[in-house]
Chains A and B, each alone.
Chain A
Amino acid sequence: MAANETTVKLDRVTKSFGEFTAVSELSLDVRAGRVFGLLGPNGAGKTTTIRMIVNITAPDSGTILLFGRKINPGLQDRIGYLPEERGLYKKMRVADQLRFFAEIKNMRGKQVETKIDDWLARVKLSDWKTKRASELSKGMQQKIQFVTAVIHDPDVLILDEPFSGLDPVNVELMKEIVLDLKRAGKTIIFSTHQMEVAEKICDDICLLNRSRKVFEGSLREIKKSFGRNSVAVRCEGGDGVLDDPALVSKLVRHADEAQALLAPGANAQTLLKRLIDSGAVIGKFEMVEPSLNDIFITKVTEPA
């Protein structure tokens, strides 16, 4: 698959439920072999968009193309979908469960057993193969759910909040697996409202807010376009300087440091000088890229 080929294409897609418009005039291009982040706060329309891509609901207007073709039940088998609302058959054994999900995607025969063993080894749950789902811990169930979405070797993988409920060790493990899949040429649509997670694995992003697209493009480019106008500061004293609206338009205090977004026209050098002049003891002063979260907030609050 060529690197820039479009796998999933949405063209002016609209979907409403009664009075409520969930997705309005949304156009997207998801390119093959990349991780595409579908981002936005709760209720922005992410899940509805995904459901239209996997053919659970149909759009009211607009078209959705998958591999250049209109979505149909046959194409569904090439998608792996991990919904936000997910679960397992409680009384079914792990292997039976995975076999069922492979067969329901039309994968049959010996390769299913090989896949089951491979994936269980990859998520480090080989010992649990014959256990019932109800005997697994929550985190283990999460990993098995992830495997149900990829067991049939899909070309497109759609993950809706895949890391919620996982401990940091397992988040790392799953992130590695997602990146491996990307390297294997799979297209991955990654939906989340946790910007920090998206920031680490997405190549392209689309920001949704209140059913509309706010921004779409590569993460690199958007960050570059925002420039380095943010400063991470750790200092004692100097509060009056950081609170000066002429210098800092927004200040976010973390546990032991603060992030200051420079006011338009202000300059980091000036800020540093003013801090020193005010007698503050500076432990850290670093120019940083704006976080995706900052970009999102700026974009959403920006007058259209």
Chain B
Amino acid sequence: MKKFFTVVKREYIQRVRAKMFIVSTVLLPLVMSLFIAVPAIIVSIKTPPMRVAVVDQTGRMYPQLRQALFGDDSDQDPQNANTGAAGAGARRNLNRFVLEEVNATNDPLDQIRSNLDERLRDRSLEGYLILEPDFFTTGKAEFINRIPGDMFSVQMLQSAINRAAREQRLIDAKVDTKTRQDLLKPVQLQSIKTGTRGQAADTSSTFALVFGIGFVMYLAILMYGQIILGAVIEEKETRIAEILFSSVRPYALMMGKLVGVSLVALTQLTIWGLAFSLLALYGVGVLASQGLPANIPTLPFLHYIYFALFFLLGYFIYGTIYALVGSMVTTAQEGGQLAMPIILILVVSFYLFWPVSRAPDSPFSFWVSMIPFSAPVAMLVRIVTQTPPFWQIALSLLIGFGSVLVIMWIAARIYRVGMLMYGKRASIPEAVRWARQA
């Protein structure tokens, strides 16, 4: 046992001290915050408003368009409408557009066009909109503009015209204001878990949480699987294996490597986790200051323990497979090739998220949540949807962590026999034979 800890200690200290580790640990949160900050800064750069002249030959559209662009737009997202975000949106539009009405009755259209074209040329105008008299029947309008690249503004303008036209058509159809508002009222759909009504269990954010855990697990396996593989091969490549085996049991060595690398992974993930939590808290604060409610799902405390356990299970079960591959090969390159199918299994088990979330109680869901490779994601989905009986959760964990120990034991045997036959990569049948004969 002491020797096991010696291996763990070496593995951990050597890796945490490495420059690569320090750089990547610090760099990732920095890069991430840049990714968040830079777009925010760019978006906040103030641009001069778009000056648009409106040639309204219908005579009824201009006030509606002003209303749609700057006024109270009632058919936006209802959540925003309640919190005044629409007001903020309208204020943004106020900075983005300057509208002016061009008298369309006195001069012929061609005359107006050439006048406006002249103004586009001397840059006192960015664009003009022509609404012909039959606009309400054809639904066609023309927008001539100097900066066709500003698709964002054009799109906003288009949606404002749309809303304005819809409103005016309803008015033309003699629909009164209240009926108009009632007709255009959007639907609000809330998904609520059975039996928890009133507790405001927001299933979508819970799913997001499980999905997030699954995703972090996936990333951790992708990142650290290769490192485990490398750690197992290290003694073969540096030819230290034989010295070590005269001092320490192969099983203790392999477990020491797995645990050592895993502690490194946990260290890095914890640092990143803290950094992201700070960023997220900042983000929640920003959203809250804009009046957006940010949902942090409320879950039983036990669920968080399950999250941690199944995360570890997922990490270790795939980690051991990497160790097994490492025990069979002699160089990291060979290991990389042999490790490809692992990624495939990982991806498949990740996609089980959907069938299991649709029928968390089906026999299919039961079995995939017992198989160690798919259990972490499948069981987590089941826990947050329809929490299965405790014995199922316990059994799944038992099978999973039991498999970790068995796979490591097999890997240790293959490693030991493989070491005695230098420079030879084990074929699968050979590996099986080695595991039996060792």
Contact = CB atoms under 8 A, between A and B. Distances in A.
B242 interface: yes
B239 interface: yes
Q: Is the interface of A mostly helix, strand, loop or mixed?
A: loop
Contacts of A54: 246
Interface stretch (A83-91, A212-220, A227-235): A83-91
B239 A104 contact: no
A91 B246 contact: no
B249 interface: yes
Which 3 A-B residue pairs are closest in the complex by CB-CB distance?
A87-B239, A87-B238, A54-B246
Contacts of A87: 238-240
Nearest to B10: A100
A83 B249 contact: no
Contacts of B420: 17, 51, 56-57
Contacts of B368: none
B86 to A, nearest CB: 59
Interface in B267-306: none
Interface residues of B, number: 24
B14 A86 contact: no
Of the four ranges (under 10, 10 to 19, 20 to 34, 35 or more), the interface on chain A belongs to 20 to 34
B234 interface: yes
Q: Most A CB atoms within 10 A — which of B234, B243, B248?
A: B243
B227 interface: no
A76 B249 CA distance: 10
A77 B238 CA distance: 22
Contact of A104 (B13, B234, B247): B247
A55 interface: yes
A148 to B, nearest CB: 7
A101 B14 contact: no
Contacts of B249: 73
A296 interface: no
Given A91-B14, A103-B6, A106-B3, A83 B242 contact: yes
A101 B238 CA distance: 15
Interface in B158-215: none
Q: Most B CB atoms within 10 A — which of A100, A105, A106?
A: A100
Nearest to B249: A73
Interface string A82-120: 110111111110001000110111100000000000000
Contacts of B28: none
B246 A76 contact: yes
Given A83-B243, A85-B422, A89-B234, 13 more contacts: A54-B246, A81-B243, A81-B246, A82-B243, A85-B242, A86-B240, A89-B14, A96-B14, A101-B243, A103-B6, A104-B3, A104-B6, A104-B247
10 contacts: A55-B246, A56-B246, A73-B249, A81-B246, A86-B239, A89-B238, A92-B10, A96-B13, A104-B3, A104-B247
Interface in B217-239: 234, 238-239
Contacts of A260: none
Interface in B1-30: 2-3, 6-7, 10, 13-14, 18
A56 B247 contact: no
Nearest to B3: A104
A242 interface: no
B351 interface: no
Interface string A46-67: 0000010011110000000000
A98 to B, nearest CB: 12
A114 B13 CA distance: 22
A91 B234 CA distance: 11
Contacts of A56: 242, 245-246, 416, 420
Nearest to B244: A104
